Amino acid sequence: MAEGVRERMIAGAMRLLAQQGPQATSFSEVLKLTKAPRGSIYHHFPGGKNQLVLAAVDAAGENALRALGDLDDADAVAITEAFLGMWRLLLERSATSMGCGVLAVTVAPPSDEVLDRARDVFRSWRALLEERLTAGGMPAGFAPTLIAAAEGAVVLARAERGLEPFDAVAGYLLAHVRAVTG
């Protein structure tokens, strides 16, 4: 049961970071969202809020890598569709109220350690996407563009409270990949 509480708290922190960023994410809100007992805070996260945010950033990074994990033999179009689809699904399910928690902690990092962890997550995404995209027929160098454009498209969709800007960016990226890979 205790491990379930820790995992619920991490998932709750991921959700809150994706909705409101690190400054507005407190232990109290995580406890309220997850219905975890108050004693769970320092039992599971003796390093405080920073430790919880680090765990949430790690989990968010791993979730994205897992979502892309089954694309070993996919072509560049399928990989691009999968990456964009992951973000579109998040926007749809949250009625555009959630974005990327990893991005959120880079905009307002609660510590250098959290910013370094976000950097590591983005690097892991870049490395995996670069490997898969080049194996799938795309010239090297497209992974950072895909990540940056997708993250920006998520921000625009949240700001406009609709999927149109995201879909416009996604359509452009997919057309580019199709044109380049033939």
Containing structural domain, residue 55? 2-181
Residue 28 belongs to domain with CATH number: 1.10.357.10
Q: Residue 182: enclosing H or E segment and its boundaries?
A: none
pLDDT digits (tens, 9 = 90+) for 63-102: 999 988 888 889 999 999 999 999 999 999 999 999 999 9
Specify the DSSP class assigned to residue 162. S
Quote the number of domains for the chain. 1
Please report how many Cα atoms fall inside a 13 Å half-sphere around the Cα of residue 35, on the Cβ side. 0
Q: What is the mean pLDDT of residues 51-59?
A: 97
Specify the DSSP class assigned to residue 99. -
Question: Nearest to residue 87, comparing CAs of 22, 159, 163, 30?
Answer: 163
Percentage of residues of the chain with pLDDT beyond 90: 85
Cα 87 to Cα 89: distance, rounded to the nearest angstrom = 5
Q: What is the mean pLDDT of residues 142-158?
A: 98
Q: What is the pLDDT of residue 3?
A: 55
Q: What is the pLDDT of residue 11?
A: 95
pLDDT digits (tens, 9 = 90+) for 124-148: 999 999 999 999 999 999 999 999 9
**Could you tell me what percentage of the chain is helix, strand and coil, using 3-state DSSP and rounding each to the nearest 5?**
75, 0, 25
